[in-house]
Structure 1
């Protein structure tokens, strides 16, 4: 396979097969195409192949792509990278989703800076499920529920669920264990807030365990676009 349309078809088929193995319909599992460092022509190619959800890690790069692709009005842009407070306005003004919120300060700024003419900004709270010092994310259930209550009360935002990036070197059994921990947190949150519907977890190397544990959205980059170029400086 050497083109984006073929790789997308293969990714969708793999998701469908994994859903069948897990005994669930493929419908609830969405595919987020991680397009960081990829040119707009690649995104257009994915769009032509039916892809609509795209994830960006770098603020300036993502905003430039959104502006360049503004003619594609049904694209859904997700910000999935670390977000500094001095970059929140750009994200609030351009993206539909932010998957990497783990601090009330960031959520407040996003709410304050979301234009009133735009729909509420969809938020996922990031969980540091593998307790890695190098990664951002909420540390435990107590911290999660406290943050969720604060975020849920903010105007111009809609709390939609959780996101996690587990440690990359886990064996299959540990992958399932950490994803099942995420699923338990997701169910707990869903019991408190009726609008909760998104559990974003699973990439190429751990997608099987993620779907088995109840992921509703997987994030694939290289599997769709091929090897990445050097990351943009943001």
Structure 2
């Protein structure tokens, strides 16, 4: 077993154990393998183990990988998630290539994604990024404003509003982590009742360091990079 396949199996085992501890089915949580800065060959190795959902933070890097994989008829179809910030000048790339966008926090960006989504593709699956813990340096719409944004996004025909995404500041201890994630879970439940959208089913929260707490709080999608691909080296 290679390092990447071993790492993937270890993460899958963690997710399954966390689900059992929370009284949930392991099938209720999707693993999103965060492959930013890693090579297409690394993605290929993880995909060969059966992983299908991959997250990219850097849009152009992600597009390069998407184009390469979709050009290879021997590679099973992968699902590509944009989980990095989306500026106005990058919305066309996201709309044309990705399957999901997790970081919408402004109506302007949603409208551009909607208008630039090609007609031959299915609607872009989107989540709204919410700054649930009020971190001053964090992106995301405030909890007070997210319902208004959701109602507007839900009207856009080339987008399918799937749920919420959060990246809270790290806290120490399982109970403290659960408490932070519970804020997003409560907000998600309130919005689901008001929106009454059948497809509003995704709560994207939890990463390598807190996926157990996120699953305990109700996450349906965890974004894991380091525990699968290893540490990242950035050029100085």
TM-score category by the smaller chain? Answer: over 0.9
* Alignment equivalent of 2:217, drawn from 176, 195, 213: 213
**1:23 corresponds to 2:23:** yes
Name the residue aligned to 1:124.
Answer: 127
Name the residue aligned to 1:227.
Answer: 231
SS at match of 1:6: helix
**1:106 corresponds to 2:109:** yes
Instruction: Kindly indicate whether the alpha-carbon contact (under 8 Å) linking 1:5 and 1:49 is maintained by their aligned counterparts in 2.
Output: yes
Task: State the Cα distance separating 1:69 from its structure 2 match.
Answer: 1.1
Name the residue aligned to 1:161.
Answer: 163
**1:79 corresponds to 2:82:** yes
Name the residue aligned to 2:9.
Answer: 9
4+ runs deviating over 2 angstroms: 169-174
Unaligned runs of 5+ in 2: none
Instruction: Kindly indicate whether the alpha-carbon contact (under 8 Å) linking 2:171 and 2:177 is maintained by their aligned counterparts in 1.
Output: no
SS at match of 2:26: coil
Q: In structure 1, how many angstroms separate the alpha carbons of the residues matched to 2:173 and 2:229?
A: 26
Using the size of structure 2 for normalisation, the TM-score is 0.94
Q: In structure 2, how many angstroms separate the alpha carbons of the residues matched to 1:231 and 1:24?
A: 41
Task: State the Cα distance separating 1:231 from its structure 2 match.
Answer: 7.1
- Judged with a 3 Å threshold, the aligned counterparts in structure 2 of structure 1 residues 137 and 157 are, in CA distance, closer, same or farther, namely same
Name the residue aligned to 1:46.
Answer: 46
Task: State the Cα distance separating 1:169 from its structure 2 match.
Answer: 3.4
Unaligned runs of 5+ in 1: none
SS at match of 1:27: helix
Instruction: Kindly indicate whether the alpha-carbon contact (under 8 Å) linking 1:8 and 1:46 is maintained by their aligned counterparts in 2.
Output: yes
Instruction: Kindly indicate whether the alpha-carbon contact (under 8 Å) linking 1:98 and 1:123 is maintained by their aligned counterparts in 2.
Output: yes
Which segment drifts farther, 91-100 or 161-170? 161-170
Q: In structure 2, how many angstroms separate the alpha carbons of the residues matched to 1:168 and 1:83?
A: 23
Task: State the Cα distance separating 1:185 from its structure 2 match.
Answer: 1.1
Q: In structure 2, how many angstroms separate the alpha carbons of the residues matched to 1:104 and 1:31?
A: 28
Task: State the Cα distance separating 1:73 from its structure 2 match.
Answer: 4.8
Task: State the Cα distance separating 1:229 from its structure 2 match.
Answer: 2.4
Name the residue aligned to 1:90.
Answer: 93
Task: State the Cα distance separating 1:133 from its structure 2 match.
Answer: 1.6
Using the size of structure 1 for normalisation, the TM-score is 0.95
Task: State the Cα distance separating 1:194 from its structure 2 match.
Answer: 2.2
Task: State the Cα distance separating 1:227 from its structure 2 match.
Answer: 1.2
Q: In structure 2, how many angstroms separate the alpha carbons of the residues matched to 1:87 and 1:64?
A: 14
Name the residue aligned to 1:134.
Answer: 137
- Judged with a 3 Å threshold, the aligned counterparts in structure 2 of structure 1 residues 73 and 117 are, in CA distance, closer, same or farther, namely farther
